[in-house]
Amino acid sequence: MNLGFRMHAERTPNPHSVKWVLGQEVVPSGLGVATASFTEPVSEQVSPLAAGLLEVDGVVSVLLGPDFVTVSKQPEREWTDLAPEVVAAIKAWAAAGPPALGDAWEAPAQADDDDVVSRIRAVIERDVQPYVAMDGGEIAFAGYRDGTVEVYLRGACAGCPSSTITLKVGIEARLKEEVPEVQSVVAL
């Protein structure tokens, strides 16, 4: 039981997502991934934390980060109604003490990269992901072909009204600067 557990909520650019910053590690650094994203119900063996949050009526996705949890809701639901249940689910997980990711969780497989893809991934991980995570989101490389980089936007980034501007003005510009082969970036 974690008696020193503390957390606070932070607004994100997406009105349907809230980033809950916890006073403890959520996704351990030794897993080879910084985040874990869930959009479908999962068992407690996969993620006790995500399982509890996705049981809350109105919650549509959960992004677990190094020390935060971003929860996204259905547009027609109000945070004033959902927040108490979300907080209760997070506190229940923290009090029980299990890791956020259970024994049945598996990190997504990563393919071998060519030089261009390796450089794209490096820019995303080094220059983009830390800033996106500050807003409770995640950007994940999905693919590259014919000059177009494909990414997944998760957490607060998924469905965010400003994500198109961020994608084109921020991410695409940065990738073009570092990787001249990149012509455009699209979200899947």
Q: Specify the 3-state DSSP secondary structure of 145.
A: strand
Mean pLDDT of the chain: 88
pLDDT at 111: 61
pLDDT at 1: 45
pLDDT at 167: 81
Which amino acid would we find at residue 152? Y
Could you tell me whether strands 137-145 and 148-155 are parallel, antiparallel, or unpaired per DSSP bridges? antiparallel
- d(CA 140, CA 78) in angstroms, rounded, equals 28
- d(CA 58, CA 18) in angstroms, rounded, equals 13
- d(CA 178, CA 146) in angstroms, rounded, equals 17
* Residues β-bridged to residue 9: 20
Q: Which residue has the higher pLDDT, 167 or 68?
A: 68
pTM comes to 0.74
Please determine, for residue 20, whether its predicted confidence score (pLDDT) is greater than 80: yes
- Spatial contact of 69 and 133, defined as CB atoms under 8 Å apart: no
Please determine, for residue 4, whether its predicted confidence score (pLDDT) is greater than 70: no
Please determine, for residue 109, whether its predicted confidence score (pLDDT) is greater than 70: no
| pLDDT tens, residue by residue, 120-178 | 989 998 888 888 888 888 888 888 988 899 998 888 888 777 887 888 888 899 999 99
Structural domains of the chain sorted by starting position, each given as residue range(s) with its CATH number in brackets: 7-96 (3.30.1370.70), 115-187 (3.30.300.130)
Distances from the Cα of 73 to the Cαs of 25, 61, 107, 116, 124, in angstroms?
Answer: 23, 7, 24, 36, 26
pLDDT at 175: 92
- Spatial contact of 161 and 14, defined as CB atoms under 8 Å apart: yes
Please determine, for residue 5, whether its predicted confidence score (pLDDT) is greater than 80: no
